[in-house]
Amino acid sequence: MSRLSHSEIHMVHRIGWLRAAVLGANDGLVSTASLVVGVAAAGSGKPEVLIAGLAGLVAGAMSMAAGEYVSVSSQTDAENADLARETRELAETPEAELEELTQIYVERGLDRDLAEKVAVQLTERDALGSHARDELGISETVTARPVQAALVSALTFAVGAVLPLIVVLLVSEAQIAPLVAGSTILGLAVLGGLGASAGGAGVVRGATRVTLWGALAMAATAGVGALFGVAVG
């Protein structure tokens, strides 16, 4: 009798890098475009706008990398501390840990006898792995990866920030603010749709929410830039 098998790719398997990628690209596009629009609205020339945008790209990418690394490293430290505690408890009170695992399976719907058999077999096979997965909620899928998160965030931030800078290079000074804003809104819609699609969510909903907040950010910085531009002038 042949066994049918098929491979499955679940969206949750992408959660580690996808979150960092979407956040980085969105932040790079929005923050750099907002900075460019704000500086342009203040009446600055094209060289000044471009320098401000480049500075924002470098500073933002480094900040994203550092922030993601520190944040995810903190999660890793917490996971390691829980695993160390669980290892100690398995060595000191194995019976209590076995009962704890049994109760977890009972609460999930197994009868007592079956739950105990499952707990015993899993404990014999991989006690720490079973407790990490079923008691602590730590698995290979959601394990924190600080370096991956930092690199993905920095790279995608830089990629997102490039779009408004390319627009600045190609258009005249008078067109910088409106064309950067327009291209950024379009870029945000694409990013939102791609992120939603990669995560298995609705494309329209993902694109709408990203575009809305990006437009609000650019409107706010344009208003500040225009206000200070008038005041200085």
Instruction: List, for residues 82-122, the tens digit of each pLDDT value.
Output: 889 989 989 999 899 889 889 999 988 888 999 899 999 98
Residue 4 falls inside a structural domain: no
Predicted confidence (pLDDT) per residue in 184-193, tens digit: 888 888 877 7
Buried-exposed string 52-61: b where 16+ CB fall within 10 A, e elsewhere: bbeebbeebb
Looking at the whole model, is its pTM more than 0.85? no
- What pLDDT is attached to residue 17? 58
In this structure, is residue 52 part of a structural domain? yes
pLDDT tens digits, 62-80: 998 998 889 888 888 888 8
**What would you measure as the largest C-alpha separation in the chain, in angstroms?**
84
Distances (CA, A) of 133 to 122, 128, 201: 11, 9, 26
Return the closest-CA partner of residue 173 out of 30, 31, 39. Answer: 39
Residue 232 covered by a domain: no
Q: Is residue 233 part of a domain?
A: no
Question: How many domains does one find in the chain?
Answer: 1
Q: What DSSP letter does each residue of 30-69 carry, written as one string?
A: HHHHHHHHHHHHTT--HHHHHHHHHHHHHHHHHHHHHHHH
pLDDT at 55 over 60: yes
**Per the domain annotation, does 6 fall within a domain?**
no
Give the span between the Cα atoms of 206 and 18, in whole angstroms. 14
Position 7 in a domain: no
- Alpha-carbon distance 53 to 62, whole Å? 14
Mean pLDDT of the region 43-57: 90
Distance CA 20, CA 152 (A): 6
At 111 the three-state DSSP class reads coil
Q: Tell me the residue range of the domain where 166 lies.
A: 12-227
152 located within any domain: yes
At residue 4, the 3 state secondary structure works out as coil
Query: Is the residue at 1 inside a domain?
Result: no
pLDDT band at 204 (very low <50, low <70, confident <90, very high): confident
